Structure 1
């Protein structure tokens, strides 16, 4: 056997052995989110390999409504969820679950949309408004905006449960008896193009608000702390990639592809997200305290101190290690 042939055979044998070696094991996570622009950092973490390089395989599910999201987390079908922070509070106060908010997100970018015949908020008297769930998050935003306009729930207007934002915008476009709802991008942009009337941004009326947040079950976090820190590191890196001006065109194309949006809609949604998301998706405690104040006002039940619902130790470790 010649030396060249021997080297070739050795190289082929080495390649065969390498090819038959088991791949590096990855930790699988199933997460649930609501459809929307707020998922851009997660899209980035997947498309840029930020999860994969940390040994994570993340399967992202889209929530049809907040009940499924909360129930799935409580039952262990999802390990991490991203949704309005009040959903985590609801798990604690309504279901007795030990849920903890571990990372912030955006301020919701929510706007109140109404049917074209509504000239002012007072015109919603006697009408029906659409919500995801009647006792959480953006429903409380809607009730508060109407309260400030002098309208009381049930007495002055009715509430109909419709589901997630993507369902509510479809419902208002199809059913004129549904007079109002809260919408965020890209659905707010679609509503405006479809002829629904924009009555303004929620935070301009109710003050700072911590909308999107990532939350988990405390027990799962304790038992999987290393995995959670890796996940949060990838998420924050996704936030940084998304907000880097040099990546703007790529980020717009990414969200357009993922959400099946025209590029101009994706571009407008991107600009809104950049104004609504703080650096590194940090939790806005003042905004979160307002979330709790709204829950207390519209349920009549006091909440615990804001710190009781939050555990940022994993987030802090993630930031420190980046």
Structure 2
């Protein structure tokens, strides 16, 4: 039974829901809070998490039916919809980029990245798109002025930077702090270049979505509750150990990361996707030649916020 207050269990999902992601990293904090605090269970949701190792693979898992939903950058779902596919974006996860552009210690300016190799997890989703925009503001154009190496998600990028296989990469919290404290150069905060964008969102296949309204509402109610906990500083004793587990960092770095994300208002309280954030996603896809400018309206039709409206929060 659906609770009017949101605190009693809603109708139970009859089967586990598989939620995929690339790294299951820092932006998954609401998911892990809801898991650790029993919030999903209270809403009758049996959630199975699936780490795919890259954002491309997370998107592909939903397309192939290997996962029911994914928390991942939105570009793959948009490209799928443009191509006539069934992927849809149904909620926001993060509308800010809590990342720094971290480089070898001898590199002091973005302009010094001319001729360098930058790490990314994908050439079509996420980090490469943000990196291209940030470097273009300093006169460096891809391809030509630098190249990308697809080395993986943020832990793999940090390892590749330490091993000298790449010269720089955007690194999220708390690895950006770890790298900078270790003497690597901070070439700038990504949010200074891109203040608002759909960093990661919840995506699903339209056919599955149409048949699992109860499970989706349970997921969203759980995530909204967990997000409220994240913004409550009195809950730090609960939140910091969870973030330590997610990011494999110590308590001081995890607390720094938590406060950084709070200051940026990274997690949307009602899982909303502001129009400005989605417009920036489309703009950068066009700039990166991942979307034809004439397909902008079709790209916007990838959004299906009806499931959020059913939670009563939009």
* Counterpart-to-counterpart distance in 2, 1:245 and 1:133: 34
Please tell me whether residue 304 in structure 1 is matched to residue 301 in structure 2: no
2:197 is matched with which residue?
A: 209
Task: In structure 2, list runs of 5 or more residues that go unmatched.
Answer: 1-11
TM-score (norm 2): 0.88
Paired with 1:55 and 1:168, the residues of 2 have a C-alpha distance of 37
Kept after mapping to 2: 8 A contact 1:81/1:215: yes
Q: Is the CA contact 1:88–1:215 (under 8 Å) kept in the aligned structure 2?
A: yes
Residue 41 of structure 1 contacts residue 238 of structure 1 at CA under 8 Å; is this kept in 2? yes
Report the equivalent of 1:3.
none
- Structure-2 separation of matches of 1:294 and 1:252: 34
Q: Is the 2:25–2:246 contact (alpha carbons within 8 Å) kept by the matching residues of 1?
A: no
Q: Which has the larger helix fraction?
A: 1
Match of 2:234 in 1: 246
Contact 1:210–1:285 at 8 Å: present in 2 too? no
Query: Which is worse superposed, 295-304 or 62-71?
Result: 295-304
2:284 is aligned with 1:294: yes
* TM superposition score normalised by structure 1: 0.86
Distance apart, 1:260 and its partner CA: 2.9
Question: Within 1, Cα distance between the matches of 2:127 and 2:79?
Answer: 13
The answer for the alignment partner of 1:14 in structure 2 is none
How large is the RMSD of aligned CA atoms in angstroms?
2.0
C-alpha contact 2:56 2:125 (8 A) present in aligned 1? no
Structure 1 residue runs of 5 or longer lacking an equivalent are 1-23
Specify the alignment match of 1:11 in structure 2: none
CA contact (8 A) 2:75 2:125 kept: yes
**Structure 1 contact 105–277 (Cα < 8 Å) conserved:** yes
Question: Over residues 45-77 of structure 1, what are the superposed CA-to-partner deviations in whole Å (9 max), with x where a residue is unaligned?
Answer: 111111111221111122311221111111111
Larger Rg: 1
- Where 2:123 maps in the other structure, the secondary structure is coil
SS of 2:296 mapped into structure 1: coil
Aligned mate of 1:282, from 272, 277, 292: 272
SS at 1:117 equivalent: coil
